Every structure is written in C-alpha cells, then in structure tokens.
C-alpha cells in the first residue's frame, strides 16, 4: 500500500507543477501581448506616429476585453474575446487642439 500512496502523491505533485507552470506561462504571455500593443510611438512622441493604436484596454470578465482603438483620428470601442468580436461604438473624431487626450 505505501508504494501506491507514494506513486499517487508523486503524480499529484507532478500535475500541480504542470498547472503552476501553465498559469505562469499564461500570465507572461498576456502581459507580453499587452506590452506589444502599447509599444512603439504614439502620436505625441517624437518620430513617425502610429496610425493604429490601442489607447485603453479593460478586462470585462475572464474571456472578454473592451478595447478603445484609434486609427488616425477615428476612435472605435471594440469588445473582443467572446463568440464573436463586436464593434460597440464608433466615437466622434478627436478635435485637433494641440493637446494630447
């Protein structure tokens, strides 16, 4: 009986290790995804401005994310991650006042 107990404990420890590694990899990938979208030049920085830029991102629940995306001066609110990606709203164009929003 101790052999079976030892084997089952080792199996449980191995599975727990795999779960922890999977959660760690998932958290690293999700942070890397967020930093890749935020990386680069925004229109207020020196150099060539980006045409497509994710201004803000907000997690709605475990799967869905609400994104405020700007392309040139047009802003769009997107809901991603569900059964289908949705355009929630097309916001009015930004007024070019010289100040960064």
What are 15-39's pLDDT values in tens digits? 999 999 998 888 777 665 444 445 5
The predicted pLDDT at position 91 comes to 87
Residue with tokens 């100040």: 99
Residue with tokens 């967020």: 34
| Per-residue DSSP letter, 52 | E
The predicted pLDDT at position 73 comes to 82
Is there a contact between 42 and 27 (Cβ–Cβ < 8 Å)?
Answer: no
Question: How do 65-71 and 52-59 pair as beta strands?
Answer: antiparallel
The predicted pLDDT at position 36 comes to 47
Degrees to nearest 5, angle at CA 85 with 22 and 56:
75
| pLDDT tens for each residue of 32-71 | 544 444 554 444 555 566 788 888 889 888 889 999 998 8
Domain ranges for the chain: 1-39, 41-101
């Amino acid at each position: 009986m101790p052999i079976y107990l030892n084997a089952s404990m080792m199996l449980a420890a191995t599975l727990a290790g795999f779960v922890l590694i999977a959660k760690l990899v998932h958290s690293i990938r999700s942070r890397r995804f967020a930093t890749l979208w935020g990386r680069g030049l925004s229109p207020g920085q020196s150099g060539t401005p980006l045409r497509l830029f994710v201004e803000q991102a907000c997690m709605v629940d475990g799967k869905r994310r609400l994104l405020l995306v700007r392309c040139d001066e047009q802003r769009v609110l997107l809901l991603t991650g569900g059964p289908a990606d949705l355009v929630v709203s097309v916001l009015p164009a930004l007024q070019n006042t010289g100040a960064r929003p």
